[in-house]
Structure 1
Amino acid sequence: MSAASRPGVEDVVVTSFLDHDHPAVGEAVSAAVSGADGDAATLSAWFAAVRDAIRYDPYRLPTSPEEYRASSVLAERRAYCVPKAVLFAAGCRALGFPARLGYADVRNHLQTERLREAMGTDLFRYHGYAAVWNQGRWVKASPAFNRELCARAGVEPLDFDGEHDALMHAFTGDGQRYMEYVVDHGLRSDLPLDEILTAYREAYPALVAFEGER
């Protein structure tokens, strides 16, 4: 699917994963954007809510489809980048904005030693972000790292103004190499869970096996 293509009905509908018709999702969106003035401010407010209210947890790679539903992510309050992107995209659709899910392999040059040992690599396969249609174009945003986590890591949290791409910083404020986008897997109208889990089983067998035993 071309990133430049205009949105279609598949970018606004409710799906098993993007269940933006769920009452809890609607309530969370309404609370997050209350008082926001204009489309850009509305998208920015919802992005900040997903970024900070859902704690980033890269040690949980669930295999159950249920755990990837937007409503489930909202209830769990912790997730890694892919479920957080699902929740953000679902909320955008609830607000009337077409939204897609995007994936890229990224290298985290500031990865913790604990996570490197668990993953066996600093390459994150199928890092999840979202793209929302606003002002006649797709703008990308990654709500993965919550503000508290960024503060502990000594990096600035990623902000989204609703009008410009907000993908992971290539460098920290003091010039250290941070996130490197290696492979772009493109945008999808729904979550390709089987494709993602296949990649995870190949790249992180210990993490995925553990989640499958939960």
Structure 2
Amino acid sequence: MNAENASSAGSAATGDPDLEPVLRATEFFDHTSPEILAFVDRSVKDRNADAVQKTVDLYYAVRDGLFYEVYGADLSREGLRSSAILRAGQGFCVHKSILFASAVRAVGVPSRIVFADVRNHLASERLKELIGGDVFFHALTSVHVNGRWTRATPVFNKLLCRLYGMRPLEFDGSADSLHHPYRDGEKAAHMEFLKEHGEFDDLPYDFVMERMRRSHPRFLEGAGTVSGGSLAKEAGSGI
């Protein structure tokens, strides 16, 4: 798929001029880049499938194709472009939501990025200490399929969920995918949405950085996250 085909696919998919702004390539959703186009080609099983199936294919490609990791993640403007995220091969909710939002635009599916404060986020005890508690600034994605906006969270990959004793969050393209399933025998949800900060056509970089610095001052180190550590290694270590 080349950039011209990606652009024409987007126009044909909606026929709605109001949705054109959420199909465009942007500073952070650079879906016409060679890296993103190649990722889409690898991830979409049937290019003739409907928009729902292609969106689902890309959801799982992002969820499990990139490892969820907060340590050492790049929060510079360059590091938060979808092509750079793909090259890095890992990131946390902001990175993975950007990549998913960008990839679906390449197949003509409008998208936005969503921000919220949540409780009971997947985290080690060490990460909770760095965050300053169990309330996290969180990102997910809103996609427009079958004439409506649906929210998806292609964030916690299958392997990490297994290490933390969680079932991975599934997505079928028709219903919102927000709350992780309960652990066997548990009655409390893993994630509680406390406050929503809105949906955005492109990453609101200054807002995100200001919010993270205010909410999680120990988490950030210069332009990136705190260095050193591994969520996978911390999963069973008790630290």
Q: Which of 43, 56, 73 is equivalent to 1:44?
A: 56
C-alpha distance in 2 between matches for 1:175 and 1:99: 33
Which structure's CA Rg is the greater one?
A: 2
Q: Which of 145, 160, 170 is equivalent to 1:149?
A: 160
Contact 1:119 1:204 in 2 (8 A): yes
Q: Which of 20, 43, 48 is equivalent to 2:31?
A: 20
TM-score normalised per structure 1: 0.90
1:188 lines up with 2:197 in the alignment: no
Q: Quote the offset at 1:7 in angstroms.
A: 4.8
C-alpha distance in 1 between matches for 2:122 and 2:90: 21
Alignment of 1:188-207 (within 5 A): 188-207=200-219
C-alpha distance in 2 between matches for 1:109 and 1:140: 17
Aligned to 1:10: 21
Alignment CA distance shift 1:141-1:209 (3 Å): same
Alignment CA distance shift 1:74-1:206 (3 Å): same
SS at match of 1:129: strand
Contact 2:166 2:181 in 1 (8 A): no
Aligned to 2:65: 53
Q: Which of 106, 109, 118 is equivalent to 2:130?
A: 118
Q: Quote the offset at 1:60 in angstroms.
A: 3.9
Q: What per-residue deviation string (whole Å, max 9, x for no partner) do you get for residues 111-167 of structure 1?
A: 321211221211112x11111111110000011100100011111111111111111
C-alpha distance in 2 between matches for 1:161 and 1:114: 34
Alignment CA distance shift 1:110-1:145 (3 Å): closer
Contact 1:61 1:208 in 2 (8 A): no
- Return 5+ residue gaps in structure 2 as ranges: 1-16, 228-239
C-alpha distance in 2 between matches for 1:210 and 1:158: 32
Aligned to 1:131: 142
Q: Quote the offset at 1:205 in angstroms.
A: 1.6
SS at match of 1:131: strand
Paired letter, 1:10:
P
Q: Which of 96, 117, 127 is equivalent to 1:105?
A: 117
Aligned to 1:95: 107
Contact 1:62 1:208 in 2 (8 A): no
Greater CA drift, 168-177 or 105-114:
168-177
Query: Runs in 1 of length 4+ with deviation above 4 angstroms?
Result: 210-214
Q: Quote the offset at 1:191 in angstroms.
A: 0.4
Aligned to 1:71: 83
Contact 2:52 2:146 in 1 (8 A): no
Identity of aligned residues (%): 36
Q: Quote the offset at 1:63 in angstroms.
A: 3.5
Alignment CA distance shift 1:171-1:7 (3 Å): farther
Aligned to 1:3: none
TM-score normalised per structure 2: 0.81
C-alpha distance in 2 between matches for 1:80 and 1:143: 10
C-alpha distance in 2 between matches for 1:101 and 1:119: 22
C-alpha distance in 1 between matches for 2:154 and 2:186: 22
Alignment CA distance shift 1:58-1:193 (3 Å): same
C-alpha distance in 1 between matches for 2:70 and 2:195: 19
- Return 5+ residue gaps in structure 1 as ranges: 1-5
Greater CA drift, 64-73 or 6-15:
6-15
